[in-house]
A and B are shown apart, each in its own frame.
Chain A
């Protein structure tokens, strides 16, 4: 069963705007990861945040993790048309043995 659930399922914004998507999970985790998938392609790893971390940045990406609420958010600032993709959160839950459980993804459309 899916452990991570993204919200919203789809998002449409104008170029230059910020995009925020959220992920909730159900049990204790070692880390939470965000991936991007362009249409018809494989997933690309964006950021990994460990359970003892609260915030991480990478370029225009900002990820937060709230373990008390079992939730994470991904913020893309100053979006570009090239950011159009599906974004997935994935959790490595405790005792998972290196396995990840993926959510259903958020489809982001950035209009020029």
Chain B
């Protein structure tokens, strides 16, 4: 079974801190994704990566950056945390398919519930 592991289930940080959320997958997937999930807003894509050192902005990249130095690891960075970044963060991975069509399911970690005080 595919395993996507997020480093923390719960995290509490202070406004202005630099926050790192880590995600590791064990299935040699090319694609990795970071979402945030908020009540009433569903899942929104922050960033995704289809290869090592490659990244693309999603729908809400402001205030975030990412790093993918190794294929299995995708990190989300909050450069200067703010209270409006309090949310559930979900990491996912999938096979690439082609760049035009994936037709692949995404596999999710259990999420990190991040609170910014």
Residues of A within 8 A of B (CB): 1-2, 30-31, 33, 35, 40-45, 48, 50, 88, 90, 92, 94-105
Residues of B within 8 A of A (CB): 4, 31, 33, 35, 40-45, 48, 50, 56, 58-59, 90, 92, 94, 96-97, 99-111, 113
Contact: A42 with B104, CB < 8 Å? Answer: no
Q: Which 5 A-B pairs have the closest CB atoms?
A: A42-B108, A45-B105, A98-B102, A102-B43, A104-B42
B39's nearest neighbour on chain A, judged by CB, is A104
Contact: A88 with B103, CB < 8 Å? Answer: no
Contact: A2 with B42, CB < 8 Å? Answer: yes
Q: Which residues of chain B have C-beta atoms less than 8 A from A40's C-beta?
A: 111, 113
Q: Which residues of chain A have C-beta atoms less than 8 A from B59's C-beta?
A: 1
Shortest CB-to-CB span from B54 to chain A, Å, is: 11
| Distance of A84 Cα from B50 Cα, bound (Å) | 33
| Distance of A73 Cα from B104 Cα, bound (Å) | 19
| Additional pairs, 8, CB under 8 Å, beyond known A35-B108, A98-B50 | A42-B108, A92-B101, A97-B99, A98-B99, A99-B45, A99-B58, A104-B41, A105-B42
Shortest CB-to-CB span from B70 to chain A, Å, is: 19
